[in-house]
């Protein structure tokens, strides 16, 4: 029997952004797939309902790939795929496999020779880059920087140096409750003429995306508490 297909299904970045996140192909796909590997089952079920799922949810097979369920191995997640069933992979928000543990599932699918099909959908990283006005041909996403203040300051200065030397956009994130301290460290560590883009609440009604120099940000520091944000540094 031929293997099934692993569909990578993006999830809206904000609760209010469902309508702008779905494509007809995505809706058709979720109505043809009855098995899912998800990072958060509650989020996944809500998304499927919003996207127009017609299959009764009681008929779905959902494997929870949350942080407490990853140590048991991946074999269980592939039982359907290896007998020919199509399966959808979903992150908690955004695109599976991008700054997301679902990348391990995709890697295993390739090792097994299973077809992988990515669907079009929102990625906060790419949306922030698009809206920043920075170099979109050369960029690096660094994920989370060190929590330790000295190490974090050192990392920020290193990223600023890379941005200036290579004319390369540097992107990174922080947990929402530490955003304000991260921003303060960026403003302390970077040169006044370095450009910083702050992109938060992307696709939500409260979306805020703005690019200014460090010197300009020092005059109007935004409140980023509890708001999902991406920071981008560039030097031209």
pLDDT at site 21: 83
Q: Residue 115: what pLDDT?
A: 97
Count of beta carbons in the 10 Å neighbourhood of residue 235: 21
Distance from C-alpha of 94 to C-alpha of 121, rounded to nearest angstrom: 7
Query: Where is the domain boundary, 75, 96, 118?
Result: 118
Q: Identify whether residues 9 and 114 lie together within a single domain.
A: yes
Range of the domain at 208: 124-234
Q: What is the pLDDT of residues 120-153, one digit of tens each?
A: 999 999 999 999 999 999 999 999 999 999 999 9
Q: Find the CATH number of the domain harbouring 133.
A: 3.30.950.10
Per DSSP, the three-state class of 145 is: coil
Which CATH number fits the domain that encloses residue 86? 3.40.1010.10
Q: What is the pLDDT of residue 113?
A: 95
Question: Does 112 share its domain with 33?
Answer: yes
What percent of the chain lies above the pLDDT cut of 70?
97
27's tokens: 């809706």
pLDDT number for residue 223 = 92
pLDDT at 68 over 80: no
Say what the pTM is.
0.90
Cβ neighbours, 10 Å, residue 141: 17
Last-in-domain residue among 100, 118, 136: 118
When mean pLDDT is compared across 6-20, 49-63, 107-121, the lowest value belongs to 6-20
Our count of domains for the chain comes to 2
Strands 35-38 and 87-90: parallel
Residues 171, 135: one domain?
yes
Average pLDDT, integer, range 20-32? 91
Q: Six-digit token pair at 75?
A: 């074999």
Final residue before a domain boundary, out of 64, 93, 118: 118
């Amino acid at each position: 029997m031929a293997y099934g297909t692993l569909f990578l299904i993006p999830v809206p970045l904000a609760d209010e952004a469902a309508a702008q996140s779905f494509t007809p192909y995505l809706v058709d796909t979720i109505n043809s797939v009855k098995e899912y590997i998800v990072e958060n089952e509650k989020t996944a079920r809500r998304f499927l309902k919003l996207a127009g799922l017609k299959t009764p949810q009681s008929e779905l097979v959902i494997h929870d790939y949350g942080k407490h369920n990853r140590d048991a191995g991946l074999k269980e997640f592939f039982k359907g795929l290896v007998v020919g069933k199509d399966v959808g992979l979903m992150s908690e928000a955004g695109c599976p496999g991008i700054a997301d543990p679902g990348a391990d599932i995709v890697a295993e699918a390739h090792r097994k020779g299973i077809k992988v099909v990515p669907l079009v959908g929102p990625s906060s990283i790419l949306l922030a880059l698009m809206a920043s006005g920075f170099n979109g041909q050369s960029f690096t996403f660094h994920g989370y920087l060190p929590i330790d203040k000295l190490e974090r300051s050192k990392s920020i200065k290193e990223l600023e140096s890379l941005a200036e030397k290579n004319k390369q956009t540097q992107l990174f994130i922080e947990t929402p409750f530490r955003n304000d301290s991260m921003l303060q460290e960026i403003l302390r560590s970077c040169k006044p003429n370095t450009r910083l883009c702050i992109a938060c609440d992307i696709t939500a009604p409260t979306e805020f995306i703005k690019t200014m120099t460090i010197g300009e940000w020092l005059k109007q520091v935004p409140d980023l508490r509890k708001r999902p944000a991406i920071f981008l540094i560039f030097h031209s």
